[in-house]
Structure formats: C-alpha cells, structure tokens
C-alpha cells in the first residue's frame, strides 16, 4: 500500500473546531449588534419622525407575521398610558407637514387591507440631505 503525500497540511480537528466555534460566536455577536443598532434606529425614527418628537412616546405596538417579520401597527403609548396612533398625530397637523419629505422617495403600492401602502427607496432615503 502506498502512502499519499498531502498537498498541504490541515490543522488538527481540535484547532479546526475551536476556529469554527470562534467564528460562529463572532457571527452571532455581530448579528446581535446589528439587531441592537436597528432597534435604536427604529426607536429614534418612531419618536422623532412619526410622532413628531413626542417626548412622551414610550412604547410601540408591533405585530409578528407568520414568517417572523415584525410590523409596526401605527399605535403607540405615552408615558401616562394614553394610546395614540401615527394617524392621530398627523390629523393633529403635527405630521401633515412632512409628507412632502418622504412621499417623493416612495412608490405607491396597491392598498393593503384598505390602507395605502408605499415602497420606500432606502438608497434615496439614506442619501437624503439633512438640511
């Protein structure tokens, strides 16, 4: 029986296992960090954009889809427990003046459950000047 010479040497199985475990842990930590960042961005967007910087906005209602995706329903609560909606905020006139900012970045979609739906162009939104 002839012994073949390997073209290159593999690390031993313990080294490979440790490297795989470390890479998977780093990947999990990175995914967790992205989730935390996106949670902060979402909270800031809701409080500052959709509620007109309402300092009393403390909680946001989310629903979970069949596929695990989360959706904001447009309902939020204030520090004193009052329930409000983004639509009420806009009806108060506080949000009515911002439609011209986001609407040009959207494509109108067919209504969903009788409600207007939009597709926001994230590339355009991210590149939008702040002033």
More confident residue, 11 or 43: 11
pLDDT score at 18: 93
Residue of 73, 48, 76 lying closest to 62 (CA atoms): 73
Of 14-23, 29-38, 54-63, 113-122, which one has max mean pLDDT? 14-23
Q: Are 73 and 108 in contact (CB under 8 A)?
A: no
Whether residue 5 is predicted with pLDDT greater than 60 in this model: the reply is yes
Q: How many CB atoms lie within 10 A of CB 25?
A: 10
Confidence label for 17 from pLDDT (cuts 50, 70 and 90): very high
Residue of 33, 35, 59 lying closest to 46 (CA atoms): 59
pTM for the whole thing? 0.50
**Whole-number mean pLDDT of the chain?**
79
More confident residue, 91 or 117: 117
């Amino acid at each position: 029986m002839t012994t073949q010479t390997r073209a290159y040497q593999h690390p031993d199985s313990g080294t490979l296992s440790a490297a795989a475990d470390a890479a998977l842990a780093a990947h999990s930590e990175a995914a967790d960090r992205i989730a935390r960042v996106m949670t902060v961005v979402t909270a800031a967007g809701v409080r500052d954009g959709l509620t007109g910087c309402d300092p009393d906005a403390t909680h946001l209602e989310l629903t979970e889809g069949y596929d695990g995706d989360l959706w904001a329903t447009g309902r939020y609560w204030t520090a004193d427990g009052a329930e409000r909606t983004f639509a009420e905020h806009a009806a108060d006139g506080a949000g009515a003046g911002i439609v011209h900012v986001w609407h040009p970045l959207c494509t109108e979609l067919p209504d969903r459950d009788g409600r207007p739906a939009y597709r926001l162009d994230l590339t355009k939104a991210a590149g939008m000047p702040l002033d």
